[in-house]
Structure 1
């Protein structure tokens, strides 16, 4: 990856670490309100971003799984930098996030991967009349992303590099254009200002169902991402080391919710829509998407259908190969992944 892109990633990560000191004294008091009767822990969890990715959070909250495990949970809005700060100082014990967090961990954000959340929720789409079908077809063209260094950009870069197309800006084989608003990115695609758009769901899927775009990469089903976790659960290393029982209890709550979603996708969507947790209005599409994310059931875990550690190592290798990480995959995985004993902690 280009020096410019690596610099942007390092600067963003260092900025998050730098401001930690400013919040270190203020944030701990956010959870000092009186705990709900019978609760062992009062915590804040980011869970108001409107995405379907956070479905286990909504279900664990609405179905009482957090409460069953001893938590009095307040769902909060928190951008990426706020999440990093909270993880680092322990005021936020756990967040869901994609492998965009990997470089930040290497740069000093004190967190660890503790579980898989779900499979892919990112697509690369083109106009319906486009002849673009493969990464090779994107050579010398423009690709929209939400930000340079963000996960859609990482996904596009990995896809291109695996096909022998350089994603480095200085090589001028492709050009990435950032759009802070996904709707603006789609408008740019419709107008021909960009040739492809790497996007989060549900925007990409909503546009596809409306016939406005077609998908050329779906990381849920297409290589080199098929069958791999897209989003993981990240725990505060501080909380994990000081109170592993708390992280274990949180994972039990998340796993109850994942199992419920796996077996009851329609009911899960109804709960999410009723609670106004997601902005998606198309129930049928929401059920289709939430099913495609492959939230793991208890049976899948028992049968070792997936391996979280292997997925962490896989993406660490992919990001190392294109210059996003400086640490080799095995070393990175041993340092930033922990296998939590959900029955008791460490």
Structure 2
């Protein structure tokens, strides 16, 4: 009996010594908490970066949560509930205009066009924008990028959003699609995959793309507080490199391959629909090909905000945009 006790004790001691040594050989993963403004196929490269292990290759562990709405997303970031926010760049302008000792900095761009589509209740073979005049248009939340881009495009086509049509803006973002399905509005501004699903179900018909009409803007970017950027510069660089790897992968692969990779994030959407949406966004250049937010895009964003009467004041590009990491990983 004593012999077995002695042997067991030796084995236990060996295990105690080996386990810490094995643990020391493994590099500790750095956790990064991302708050995304919505969960959308529009953000395909982000999900590719997670699913293909590009973040993991950089030693990063991603904790992703959806915080619906720009206000909730920025609250999560500012209150240290998240390290990085994926949201429209206009939110960084709003926060800075309100006064902040710790400015929010845009460091990596994910999408470079608007992601919404104009959906008509009735099928239209030869659509032109004048067809909206005198009609009811269910738009997006006032002050958000979809609404501002929507009005910008209407004005571009000679339509006064307040005078030439009935603009409906009193419906919450989450209820816009159900409201249209229930009979509100003759036209509606919708994101994918809802727009395509409505088309498949005969509830509406896609007639135009706001993304094609509005040009390049920093529609959705990764941003963080200036303090986090300074204290975790190596982490931010690794994060940006993972995003660039994903952007390259999405550009090189077919829409079908991308759809297969991101399907686990959209279990309620069939593969064919995901593929169709990815192809639509990719073909119109919605996915940024690199994480660099350039100055022309920044100025276009502020022009759109100004046109909508939502720009508190013009913000200098270098004040709220840091391209150091994006440029480094793109070289």
Say whether the fold is shared (TM-score over 0.5): yes
Ranges in structure 1 where 5+ consecutive residues have no aligned partner: 1-36
Q: d(CA) in 2 for partners of 1:269 and 1:127?
A: 28
Q: 2:48 aligns with which of 59, 62, 70?
A: 59
Measured at CA, do residues 74 and 259 of structure 1 come closer, stay the same or move farther in structure 2, by a change above 3 Å? same
Q: d(CA) in 2 for partners of 1:45 and 1:307?
A: 19
Contact 2:137 2:167 survives alignment (8 Å): yes
Give the TM-score, by structure 2 length. 0.75
Measured at CA, do residues 251 and 73 of structure 1 come closer, stay the same or move farther in structure 2, by a change above 3 Å? same
Q: d(CA) in 2 for partners of 1:148 and 1:213?
A: 23
Deviations 1:134-155 (A, max 9, x none): 4443334322134232333222
Contact 1:56 1:254 survives alignment (8 Å): yes
Aligned to 2:193: 202
Q: 1:120 aligns with which of 77, 102, 114?
A: 114
Measured at CA, do residues 143 and 281 of structure 1 come closer, stay the same or move farther in structure 2, by a change above 3 Å? same
Q: 2:167 aligns with which of 138, 153, 175?
A: 175
- Dislocated runs of 4+, deviation >6 Å: none
Give the TM-score, by structure 1 length. 0.72
Aligned to 1:339: 323
Aligned to 1:311: 297
Aligned residues: 291
Aligned to 1:291: 279
Q: d(CA) in 2 for partners of 1:285 and 1:108?
A: 43
Deviations 1:59-112 (A, max 9, x none): 222222112212122222323334212322454232222355255333347312
Aligned to 1:154: 148
- Give the SS at the match of 2:214: coil
Deviation at 1:258, TM superposition (A): 1.7
Q: d(CA) in 1 for partners of 2:37 and 2:116?
A: 19
Q: d(CA) in 1 for partners of 2:125 and 2:234?
A: 53
Ranges in structure 2 where 5+ consecutive residues have no aligned partner: 1-25
Q: d(CA) in 2 for partners of 1:41 and 1:203?
A: 35
Aligned to 1:14: none
Contact 2:114 2:149 survives alignment (8 Å): no
Aligned to 2:234: 245
* Residue 66 of structure 2 corresponds to residue 74 of structure 1: no
Contact 1:92 1:236 survives alignment (8 Å): no
Aligned to 1:33: none
Does 153-162 or 98-107 show the bigger shift?
98-107
Deviation at 1:218, TM superposition (A): 0.5
Aligned to 1:87: 77
